[in-house]
């Protein structure tokens, strides 16, 4: 099994709902280690950058507005098969479709306010470059990934 890193962003709805501890507890119980974390308030430019691929979609402005509506918690998680494990813990994007016991089923209020956003390398064959990708995508928010020896 591969030791991987993935990036997780706890969105404003979950932060405002005081769900960070419960969410982190689930990460740790599943074997994921939190190797870096930073609470921050995104501005329009940073939030827009996270969702640049959706810039032409009708929901884009609402998404950026939501992501800037309150603080977010950016975390780097590490562990065996961290990418797949993290996706399983999160659940389906639409909380109505998310399996019982997943974070989105338990904490998200709508498909727009769904507690999480993840920016990772999608292709499992390129997991080694995920750390570089995380550094490049998030250097402007100063999340430093601690290299493990």
pLDDT, one tens digit per residue, over 32-50 is 999 888 899 999 988 888 7
With respect to residue 122, please indicate whether it lies within any of the assigned structural domains: yes
Q: Work out the angle between the directed axes of helices 20-29 and 82-90 (0-180°, nearest 10).
A: 130
Instruction: Please say if the pLDDT value at position 112 is more than 80.
Output: no
Instruction: Please say if the pLDDT value at position 24 is more than 90.
Output: yes
Q: Choose among 78, 83, 69: nearest CA to 14.
A: 69
Instruction: Please say if the pLDDT value at position 119 is more than 70.
Output: no
Q: Compute the distance between CA of residue 65 and CA of residue 35 in angstroms, rounded to an integer.
A: 29
Instruction: Please say if the pLDDT value at position 121 is more than 50.
Output: no
With respect to residue 23, please indicate whether it lies within any of the assigned structural domains: yes
Q: Considering the chain, what is the average pLDDT of its residues? A: 77
pLDDT, one tens digit per residue, over 48-87 is 887 888 899 998 899 899 999 999 998 888 899 988 899 8
Q: Choose among 96, 118, 113: nearest CA to 105.
A: 96
Q: What is the CATH number of the domain that holds 116?
A: 3.30.70.141
Instruction: Please say if the pLDDT value at position 148 is more than 70.
Output: no
pLDDT > 70 in the chain, percent:
72
Span 106-129, average pLDDT? 53
Instruction: Please say if the pLDDT value at position 105 is more than 50.
Output: yes
With respect to residue 31, please indicate whether it lies within any of the assigned structural domains: yes
Instruction: Please say if the pLDDT value at position 28 is more than 90.
Output: yes
pLDDT band (50, 70, 90) for residue 98 = confident
Number of domains comprising the chain: 1
Q: 3-class SS at 133?
A: helix
Domain limits for position 7: 3-141
Q: Choose among 148, 88, 78, 146: nearest CA to 116.
A: 88
With respect to residue 148, please indicate whether it lies within any of the assigned structural domains: no
Instruction: Please say if the pLDDT value at position 14 is more than 80.
Output: yes
pLDDT at res. 48:
86
With respect to residue 10, please indicate whether it lies within any of the assigned structural domains: yes
């Amino acid at each position: 099994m591969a030791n991987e890193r993935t990036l997780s962003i706890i969105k404003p709805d979950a932060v405002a709902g005081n769900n960070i501890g419960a969410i982190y507890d689930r990460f740790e119980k599943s074997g994921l280690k939190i190797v870096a974390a930073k609470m921050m308030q995104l501005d329009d430019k940073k939030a827009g950058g996270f969702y640049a691929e959706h810039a032409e979609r009708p929901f884009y402005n609402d998404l950026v507005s939501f992501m800037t509506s309150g603080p977010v918690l950016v975390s780097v998680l590490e562990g065996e098969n961290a990418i797949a494990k993290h996706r399983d813990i999160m659940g389906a994007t639409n909380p109505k479709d998310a399996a019982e016991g997943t974070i989105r089923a338990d904490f998200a209020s709508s498909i727009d306010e769904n507690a999480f956003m993840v920016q990772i390398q999608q292709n499992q064959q390129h997991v080694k470059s995920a750390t570089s990708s995380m550094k490049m995508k998030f250097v402007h928010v100063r999340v430093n990934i601690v290299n493990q020896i």
